[in-house]
Amino acid sequence: MMWGRAMTETSKTVTRVDLCEAVYQKVGLSRTESSAFVELVLKEITDCLEKGETVKLSSFGSFMVRKKGQRIGRNPKTGTEVPISPRRVMVFKPSAILKQRINAQHRTNGDGSKVQPEA
């Protein structure tokens, strides 16, 4: 599968540790302060979402909580219908700028060379 192969070749999982290290390297805080800063930002986002608020980060995207009603699902193994209870789910909607940046890195010309992103 071409899509799956491309994902594994270029995909890297960024962890909290990676984010803390990036803050440490780029901002100049100590490692302890960098870790506390990242944790504070993630806690603030989590707290807002828990309250049902939308978190909008300009040029990045929006995190939102949506309510899903009760519905009937099907056990794929047995085919038996089962009720799925109502719940809240978190969704992320990337900004147009983020979409453009992501797609600009993967566009190619007809000859296979990369298209230069517009400034």
| Closest-CA residue to 66 (of 49, 47, 83) | 49
Task: Give the residue-averaged pLDDT of 3-29.
Answer: 81
Across 1-10, 42-51, 66-75, 102-111, least confident range: 1-10
Q: Who's near 97: CB < 8 A, 6+ residues apart? A: 59, 60
Around Cβ 10, how many Cβ atoms within 10 Å? 9
Mean pLDDT, rounded, of the chain: 86
Dump pLDDT digits (tens) for 57-98. 999 999 999 999 999 999 999 999 999 999 999 999 999 999
Task: Give the residue-averaged pLDDT of 10-14.
Answer: 85
Give the CA angle between residues 45, 49, 53 to the nearest 5°: 110
Task: Give the residue-averaged pLDDT of 30-50.
Answer: 97
Q: How far apart are the first and last CA of the chain?
A: 33
User: Does residue 108 register a pLDDT over 80?
Assistant: no
pLDDT band at residue 50 under the 50/70/90 scheme: very high
User: Does residue 43 register a pLDDT over 60?
Assistant: yes
pLDDT at residue 84, as a whole number: 95
Q: Annotate 53-79 with b (16+ C-beta within 10 A) or e (fewer).
A: eebeeeeebebbbeeeeeeeeeeeeee
